[in-house]
Structure formats: structure tokens, C-alpha cells
Amino acid sequence: MTVHHHATDETLMRYAAGHLPAAPARVVAVHLAGCTTCRTRLAAFEAVGGALLEQTSPEPMAPDSFAAALRIIEAEDGMSRAAQTPARPGRSPALLPGGIPIPEPLRDCEMGPWRWIGLGVRASALRLPEDPEARLTLLRVGPGRKLPEHGHFGTEFTQVLAGSFSDGFGRYRPGDLSEMGHEIEHQPIVDPEGECICLAALEGGMRLTGLLGRLIQPFVRL
């Protein structure tokens, strides 16, 4: 799989520093799982962050800081052991439509039912264990379908898992990550060869434009 659209430097730096919200961080994690280029860049940012940390003057800690850190480590260790529990014999990982395996960074998420949200468009909400209120969505869009033209109140992160789509900024295939800032309006159009399945998260909300967008805006929650 050749990746043509990568995470931006800003996004990788925020990811390395732990400053991305939970849902966008999961989208980026899925991208990193399949993109050696971005993993290499991320390692460089993490190395720079480590070097800067070493140069930082020490600050006094609160009396209970060590105990709090131990509680966090124990909680994360428990989640890690649960995620590594072997599947029961004969049980396969959850699959997406078309027999596509759920990406590894999503396998601890609870996947909701596929719901109709527009002509030829279905969505499944993913529940994150670290932030149940986060909005992380799987989208299935039929071949040749156009999504409503829209903008964003923050950055939109979209990772293509299967199929492909195009907008005014390029064509996105499996493995590609689309990042659209608040200043951008676009209209994704799925290629006619087949259904497109994407993982999407927003920082902020979606701003639908045009007559159709204004009509359906009250019913869209992504």
C-alpha cells in the first residue's frame, strides 16, 4: 500500500506531545500503523521533545505526584493486559464490510450499529474507552456518491480504510490521511469503482453549506 497523503508536521508534533483530542488521536494512530514515513517523522519529533525535556529546569512536585503517577501506570497496564487477552478459539477479530479487518488501534473500541445518515451514506459511532464522549465515526459511502459541501469549526481528520474519494484537494486512497482546517470548504466525491469506508473525527463541528446542507444540518451529528 502506497500512502500519498500524510499527517502534517503540526499534527505529528501534537500527537507526540499528547495534545491531540482522543478521537483525532485515534485517526492519526490508524494512519501511523500503516505509514512508515509518518512513523519515522514522529520518532524524530519525539526525539526532539525528549532533548528539550532534558534541558528543562526541574520544578518542585506536589506531595502526592508519585502516587498519582503510579495509579495512572497501573490503570494503563490493566488496559494493556485486557487488550492483549487472546481471543477464544474460533473467534476472529471484528470485520468491516467487505471482510476488511478492524485496524489494530481501534480494536479496544466499541463499534455501534450502522445507521443511515443520507442517501448512500451510513455511519457507525465508535466508543473510546479513554473518552466515551469523543466523536469517532466510521463512514460508508456508496460508489459515485457526493457528500454535502461543507466546512469545519476545527480540523477534520479522515483516514481512508477502503475505496477512494476525491475533492478539490486531491484523490485519497487506502492509507491516505486527509486533514482539512477550519478555513477550507470541500465536497468529497466517492470514486465510481466501489464503496468508500473512512474513519473520521472532528475538532469542533461540521458546517454544511449550500441549500441541501442547510436543510440537513440539524440532523447531522459527526
Beta bridge partners of 118: 121
Residue 5 within any structural domain of the chain: yes
**pTM of the full structure:** 0.76
pLDDT of residue 72: 54
Place of cell 473510546: 128
Convert the pLDDT of each residue in 86-135 to its tens digit: 444 444 467 898 899 999 999 999 999 999 988 899 999 999 999 999 99
Q: Are 221 and 112 in contact (CB under 8 A)?
A: no
Q: Beta-carbon neighbour count of residue 212 at 10 Å?
A: 13
Span 175-184, mean pLDDT? 89
Q: How many Å separate Cα 164 from the centre of its chain? A: 17
Convert the pLDDT of each residue in 190-206 to its tens digit: 999 999 999 999 887 77
Q: How many Å separate Cα 141 from the centre of its chain? A: 17
Angle, CA of 204, 103 and 151, to the nearest 5°: 25
Residue 97 within any structural domain of the chain: no
Span 48-61, mean pLDDT? 58
Residue 53 within any structural domain of the chain: yes
Residue 155 within any structural domain of the chain: yes
Q: What is the CATH number of the domain that holds 196?
A: 2.60.120.10
Residue 159 within any structural domain of the chain: yes
Span 73-78, mean pLDDT? 54
- Across the chain, mean pLDDT equals 81
Residue 84's pLDDT band, with cuts at 50, 70 and 90, is: very low
Phi, psi angles (nearest 5°) of residue 101: -65, 145
Residues 6+ apart with CB under 8 A from 17: 49
Q: How many domains does the chain have?
A: 1
Residue 96 within any structural domain of the chain: no
Can you read off the three cell numbers belonging to residue 3? 500512502
Q: Which of 151, 140, 198 is nearest to 173 (CA)?
A: 198
Residue-range definition of the domain harbouring residue 146: 1-91+102-222
User: Which range (9-23, 91-105, 174-188, 208-222) has the least confidence?
Assistant: 208-222
Residue 47 to residues 17, 40, 42, 136, Cα–Cα distance (Å):
11, 11, 9, 29
